[in-house]
A and B are shown apart, each in its own frame.
Chain A
Amino acid sequence: MSRTASRLLVTAAALLLVFGVSTAAVVAMREPFALNDYTAIWGLKARALYRTGSVAGLFRVDPDGAFSHPEYPPLWPLLLTVATRARLPFDDLVVTPLWPLLALAASLLAVRAARSLRVAWPFALLAGATVSLLPYWRTYPGYAEGLLLVFVLAAAGEAERAGEDAGATLRLSVFLTLAAWTKPEGLVAALVAAAVLGFAKRGRAALLVCLSAVLLAAVPWALAVRRLAPRLPPTDFAFAAFSPANLGVALSTLVSEAVPAAGLLLAGAGLFALAPETLRRRRAVLAWAAVYAGALIGSFAFTRLDPAWHARWSWDRILVVPLAVVIPVLAEALAECVTGRSGAAPLPASPEATLPQAPVPAR
């Protein structure tokens, strides 16, 4: 690719990224957060935390766990509370600038994740722009997956070197532990990452990620729930509710809901089909995305709610996380198609014919 083409691509990608984050900002900041889960869970808890200054307040507001999911970890409401401390009284509008900030952070972390795969800058920037354009940012302002995306993408930027670089392994564990403090799906992300690292023979990294997420997030929060909740909160899932029919209904709902996004999914699959080297190199990331999505979709077999309703209201929020993690790999696939080599491939004999590559980090 010529230098001019590369500069054009960088400019277009940067403009798209700014456009994506700006539209997310306008959607979030034209009215206070007031969507379903925000009022029933996240904003409700933020208000309770703000006014009581105590984690116990999270359990008092809905002691039966009828709608607020008291068992959900408290990091997002805590962040909302900290943001609103800047102004009195509690005002949901003050927290809305957090949303474009999360979109920007997730986009830049996608760029970083792509760069960690040694994808050239123009394609890495395209990965960031794509993350900023994900419909999630304009559909669910105030929901917790925004923060979850930030932590999981931050972890994705460390995954390549985890197990080979102590700092990267530690940062990966910290980001996934923070993800587990954000939503139960964060714990799933950490456990699946540990399993994939284990299969990739990076046993120490797998152990650290697993122990960190379980001992520093899941267990302390489970103990806090046991201590502070007046009774054990009901959950949406139970082993006793297992039924293959539930899964069938959820899957058919998911397929019918995902039809409008079929073009985008086919475009992604097409890119991978055109870039076999990237597909081969990034099996671990793709396995993580597949197992994470499979585990969460499979959990519908255990739902205690109407499976069609449950899938309809959560499928896009479940799939946005693995999709965002796959986007940097798609950028690498695009780079392979355009430049003829994937990010990790050695430089050809005449480097002036291609874009400058990031230096390979010392191992």
Chain B
Amino acid sequence: MTAAVRRFAAAFLTSAALLLLGWRAWESIAPLPASLSVMRKFWRAGTPTRLLNSRLFRRDPELGAALVSRERFLPLDADVVLTVPPGLPDAAAEEMRRKAAFVLAPRRVTLARGEAGRDGFLLAAAPVAREAP
């Protein structure tokens, strides 16, 4: 293989790879005006609004609002029980628990099954375990 062919082949492979990577990077932010507009809105919003509009609570705004509200008042050393309906699939219940744990950290969140009210969940401080005398 001559030096010229080698140079051309290497330049072609590199250009193709960089073009592909660059195109994928562009796709991730296209359309740019929409991305920049969303970016501006997020930066201007308040902390709770930001959290409620994040992808975490996009499909579950009631849970997000309840968690943000409870987070303000629950003492940090209290654990929390999240009650969900008995018929809710395990994966969906676990997802709700993780969302709750994220917002309420460092509080421990445990799941319970039972009457969950109109919103499909109940949040309550866990009863304090009493040590035996």
Contact = CB atoms under 8 A, between A and B. Distances in A.
Interface of A: 16, 19-20, 23-24, 26-27, 29-32, 34-35, 39-40, 43-45, 47-48, 51-52, 57, 60-63, 67-68, 89-93, 126, 129-130, 133-135, 138, 263-264, 267-268, 270-271, 274-275, 333-334, 337-338, 340
23 contacts: A16-B18, A19-B22, A26-B35, A29-B43, A31-B38, A32-B54, A40-B98, A40-B102, A45-B105, A47-B102, A51-B105, A52-B76, A61-B101, A62-B108, A91-B50, A93-B50, A138-B29, A264-B20, A264-B21, A268-B17, A271-B14, A274-B13, A338-B7
Contacts of B47: 89-91, 93
Given A23-B26, A31-B42, A270-B9, A57 B54 contact: no
B99 interface: yes
B28 A60 contact: no
A334 B14 contact: yes
Closest 7 A-B residue pairs measured CB to CB?
Answer: A337-B10, A48-B106, A133-B21, A47-B105, A30-B39, A57-B106, A138-B28
A160 B94 CA distance: 47
Interface of B: 1, 3, 6-7, 9-11, 13-14, 16-18, 20-22, 24-26, 28-29, 32, 35-36, 38-39, 42-43, 47, 50-51, 53-56, 76, 94, 98-99, 101-103, 105-108
Contacts of B51: 32, 92
Q: B interface, by DSSP: helix, strand, loop or mixed?
A: helix
Contacts of B107: 61
Contacts of B98: 39-40, 67
| A31, A35, A93, A340 — most chain B CB neighbours (10 Å) | A31
Contacts of A334: 10-11, 14
Contacts of A20: 21-22, 25
Contact of A92 (B13, B17, B50): B50
Given A39-B102, A334-B14, 11 more contacts: A23-B29, A32-B54, A51-B76, A51-B105, A91-B50, A126-B18, A130-B17, A134-B21, A138-B29, A264-B17, A338-B7
A274 B13 CA distance: 11
B9 A274 contact: yes
Contacts of B17: 130, 263-264, 267-268
A141 B9 CA distance: 35
B25 A51 contact: no
Contacts of A63: 108
A138 B10 CA distance: 27
B54 A274 contact: no
B10 A27 contact: no
A338 to B, nearest CB: 5
A75 B64 CA distance: 28
A131 to B, nearest CB: 10
Residue with the greatest number of chain A CB neighbours at <10 A, chosen from B11, B18, B42: B18
Contact of B18 (A32, A67, A129): A129
Contacts of B28: 23, 27, 135, 138
Contacts of A52: 76, 106
Contacts of A264: 17, 20-21
A29 to B, nearest CB: 6
Q: Which of B11, B39, B76 has the most CB of A within 10 A?
A: B39
Contact of A93 (B42, B56, B103): B42
A52 B36 CA distance: 35
A30 B76 CA distance: 30
Contacts of B9: 270, 274, 337
